[in-house]
Amino acid sequence: NLLIGGWNPLTYVDKDMFRSVYDNFSGSAYAEAKFLKDFTARATFSADMVYRTSKSFQNNEFGGAASSTVNGALTQTRTTNMVLNANQTINWNHAYGDHHIDVLVGHEFNYVKGDYFAAAMQNMFVPGLTDFSNFIKVRANPSSYTAPTSMESWFARANYR
């Protein structure tokens, strides 16, 4: 049942697969302690993680991967993004009659890491089996990269009222 010049939209639903799965985590925690009379120390940590896996399968009967030179196609990608942030502060807060002074000093560390992988194969052996081991020809060379960056900083603030 061919439609539209060899393309049948129903085969996308029945025989092809385009799927992405995301797993996200975001969390933070802190600890705070007051000491002496006017001091407060605080430590904060946060983590954000995003994992994504994608699989794209095109059947070998109808559509763009149905030609005898392609004979079905499979592409898979994996992406991981991670952000870690930690900071520590000490705050001094004191009043002298009508005058108020507060001073804050702190340290922050931020780490970001992106990780990516993709691969594509064609020419399937067993119709409908969507694992790389079922394909015999590399469609696109596997590609990957890891991109970590980090930043460390110190900061201070003073207020008078």
94-128 burial by CB neighbour count: b if 16+ within 10 A, else e?
eeeeeeeebbbebeeeeeeeeeeebbbbbbbeeee
* Per-residue pLDDT at 6: 58
pLDDT tens by residue, 70-98: 888 999 999 999 999 999 999 999 999 99
- Rounded to 5, what percent of the chain is helix, strand, coil? 5, 70, 25
For the whole model, what pTM was predicted?
0.73
The residue among 84, 77, 128 whose CA lies nearest residue 108 is 84
Whether 118 has a pLDDT exceeding 70, the answer reads yes
Q: How confident is the model at residue 100 (pLDDT cuts 50, 70, 90)?
A: very high
Q: Across all residues in the chain, what is the average pLDDT?
A: 90
* Per-residue pLDDT at 159: 95
